[in-house]
Amino acid sequence: MTRTVMVVLAAIFVTAFAGASGAYIGLDEVSPGMTGYGLTVVAGDELVEFDVEVVGVVHAPGDGQNFIAIRASGEAIERSGGIAQGMSGSPVYLDGRLAGALSRAAIWTATPDRPLGLVTPIEDMLEVLAEVRDEPPSEPRFPPEEPTPPEDTAPDIAEGKLYGAALHHWPLQTPPVLAAGLSSRAIRALREGFRLDALDSPLTQLLPSWAASFPGLEELGISRVIDAPGVSTSTTWELRPGGPVGVSLMVGDMHIGSLGTVTEVDGAALVAMGHHFLFSGPSRYFLTQAEILDTVQALNAPFKFGMLGDIEGGIYADRWAAVGGRTGVPPQGIDVAVQIRDLSHPDERISSLRTTMAREPRLQPLLLYLAGLEATDRGLDRRGAGTVSVRYEIEGDGMPHALSLSNVFLSTQDVAVYASLEAAMILNILQYNEFQDPALTSVHLEAEVSKEFRVTEITDLSVHGQAFGPGDIVPFTVYGRDWRGEERSWSGELRIPPRVDGPYVELRAYGGPRPLEKGEAPPVMESLEDLLGYIERVPGNDTLTVELFATDPLTQLTGVEHLVGVDGRTLQVPETVVVGEISLYIPLEQED
């Protein structure tokens, strides 16, 4: 955020805080011994109060965030087993005025059996409220900024009753993420992420090193992902301080998000949680309804257990002190539609999955991968080997044209992994391209899955003729064999260039794409249009290529063989993965 914007927001905040001095109590007015109450929902839709006593004011080192240290008590706290994850954002009132939001639980070493909590001051949260009060901010900067949260160090100064004792606190800013409509392995992948090692493709070279994997929620600071019982259909949800709210990354047939508590509402604007979610700064999450089923006591930390519901607006700021959003103004997401046809089923059963994912670039590829994985598992109702033929189209308001691709993948272990893996990788390439924001809007994917191993192995390569020279035509035949031993062949012709360096040429037959040879220059791309064209030209796994290579002049200079492709033919082998590689060296007869 620029200095000018920060100054403007600070001015807005000062004006708002001064104009509402009767509603808010500043940190400088808080002192040990003050009492008040907090609001939250433990179960159902009933707001309950819990008692609050100020223990001290905690000043973090340097420019770190300050807190109000409080002791929470009452029936709501006892029933919850302490201060629970999901209570983050619960408004705390002192002298009848809003002081801030409960955001951390703590244990003071002097009395470890007496739970404490930390409250994020309302001053910091009002800055976030000012950011989203009028209109949703403009689209996030692209590529997105990667903010680094300040270290959550132990406070070095504590007032009043905390003086002289260490305060150990754990943040409530990592509440469990609820995942509805996901299998156990999809939930595990959501938590741990996914590396691209399983996809041997030259397209991975287009990714920067820091984008060569799909990060999971653990990498973004969230360690607990819970299988939610479903999606809320409650008709009594109301946006109010102390009430639940959902911050969602995906909605539809798959629903992924987190529960929080609303701290303050100002018209259509609100702030919640008292801490960040993924710390994205400008954000485009979905603000959704939420329903608290109950609060669960746990050994490590109690947590609210509930369900997420319909979209009510958007979360447009994800800052250190709070998340902020607006009702009635949902952000544009990326619509995902996946259709799976099971060719091994007697009726060739078709199943579909539709969902919309938030524009969070760090998670978009993983969420798309999970959509394909989940749709395939549901459609096949099994897990195991097979062949999957995939067709997909990626669209975006900032793209010169839609990107339409197809490919075939085979696995002897788990074919579902490959249904959307390549599409997810290309989504990653597009969103981190160096030219322009593609403003992705939709991904439509269709896949046909068979239990059969539809694969052809290249077994031999021959040429017809005894001697060849520069400018000659080389007739060839490639031989292949499928999984069950049936043989087939393909014939064609390639031409040796009239001018060629070296005493030989190499004829090579191979399946799928190949990496660049040492003598070949990497592709030059100067626009998103060029990038799309390059991706479209990469051969799929269902292609058989026969290519003629000649030595590059650099070979004579360096002593290291540098080859360059000089002619080639590519054949489609529909719905079949072509594997293997065979080369022939053809001596050249030189003219006298």
Tell me the per-residue pLDDT of 527-582, one tens digit each, with 9 for 90 and over: 999 999 999 999 999 999 999 988 876 655 555 667 788 889 999 998 899 999 99
Tens digit of each residue's pLDDT (9 = 90 or more) over 322-365: 999 999 989 999 999 999 999 999 889 999 999 999 999 889 99
User: Do 449 and 415 meet the contact criterion of CB atoms below 8 Å apart?
Assistant: yes
CB atoms within 10 A of CB 279: 18
Q: How far apart are CA 239 and CA 23, in angstroms?
A: 19
Pairing assessment for the beta strands 91-94 and 35-41 based on DSSP bridges: antiparallel
- d(C-alpha 460, C-alpha 367), whole Å: 42
Question: Strands across the sheet with 581-587, in order?
Answer: 563-572, 543-551, 504-511, 581-587
* 50: number of Cβ within 10 Å: 24
- Give rounded-to-5 percent helix, strand, coil for the chain: 20, 40, 40
**Residue 151 φ/ψ, nearest 5 degrees:** -65, 135
CB 547 within 8 A of CB 568: yes
Look at residue 167 in the predicted model and tell me its pLDDT: 45
Q: In the chain, what are the domain boundaries?
A: 3-144+152-171, 177-327, 334-450, 455-587
Q: Which residue has the higher pLDDT, 3 or 436?
A: 436
Instruction: Please state the rounded mean pLDDT for residues 66-78.
Output: 86
Provide CB contacts within 8 A for 38, sequence distance 6+: 49, 50, 52, 72, 90, 91, 92, 93, 102, 242
The two beta strands, 269-272 and 225-227, are: unpaired
Which alpha helices (DSSP H) does 398-443 contain, by range? 421-431
Please, are residues 588 and 468 in contact by the beta-carbon 8 Å criterion?
yes
Is the Cα dihedral 468, 473, 475, 478 positive or negative? positive
**Average pLDDT of span 403-414:** 92
**187 pLDDT band (50/70/90 cuts)?**
very high
The torsion angles phi and psi of 189, rounded to 5 degrees, stand at -65, -35
| Residue 511 to residues 263, 483, 515, Cα–Cα distance (Å) | 59, 15, 12
pLDDT of residue 162: 41
| Residue 77 identity (one-letter amino acid) | I
Which one of 168-182, 224-238, 402-416 scores highest in mean pLDDT?
402-416
The per-residue DSSP string of 372-384 comes to HHHHHHHHHSS-S
Residue 534 confidence (pLDDT): 92
**Domain topology for 3-144+152-171:** Thrombin, subunit H (2.40.10)
Does residue 90 have a pLDDT over 60? Answer: yes
Q: Which residues in 517-534 are b (16+ Cβ under 10 Å) and which e? A: eebeeeeebeebeebbee
Vertex 578: Cα angle to 493 and 538 (nearest 5): 75
The pair of structure tokens assigned to 18 is 């001064």
pTM of this structure? 0.84
Name the maximum alpha-carbon separation found in the chain: 104
For residue 407, what pLDDT is reported? 94
Report CA torsion sign: 312, 428, 197, 570: positive
Give the list of residues 6+ apart from residue 455 with CB closer than 8 angstroms, or none: 387, 410, 482, 483, 576, 577, 578, 579
Name which of 313, 376, 314, 322 is nearest 101 in CA terms. 322
Lookup: tokens for 172: 């409530």
Percentage of residues in the chain with pLDDT exceeding 70? 80
How confident is the model over 453-494, as pLDDT tens digits?
999 999 999 998 878 888 899 999 999 999 888 999 999 999
- The 10s digit of each residue's pLDDT in 295-307 is 766 555 666 678 8
For residue 133, pLDDT over 50 is answered with yes
User: What is the pLDDT averaged over residues 101-117?
Assistant: 66
Instruction: Give the Å distances, CA to CA, from 153 to 123, 173, 182.
Output: 21, 15, 36
Comparing CA positions, the residue from 280, 294, 299, 314 lying closest to residue 244 is 294
Q: Mean pLDDT across the chain, nearest whole number?
A: 83
Cβ-based neighbours of 64, under 8 Å, separated by 6 or more: 150, 151, 153
For 360-398, how does the pLDDT look when each residue is reduced to its tens digit (9 = 90+)?
A: 988 999 999 999 999 999 999 988 899 999 999 999 999
Asked if residue 68 lies in contact with residue 162, where contact means CB atoms within 8 angstroms, the answer is: no
User: What is the token pair recorded at 40?
Assistant: 């939250």
So what's the pLDDT on residue 297? 65
Query: How many residues are recorded in the chain?
Result: 592
In the predicted structure, residue 121 carries a pLDDT above the cut 90? yes
Amino acid making up residue 101: A
Query: 443 or 16: whose pLDDT is higher?
Result: 443
CA-based R_g, the chain, Å: 30
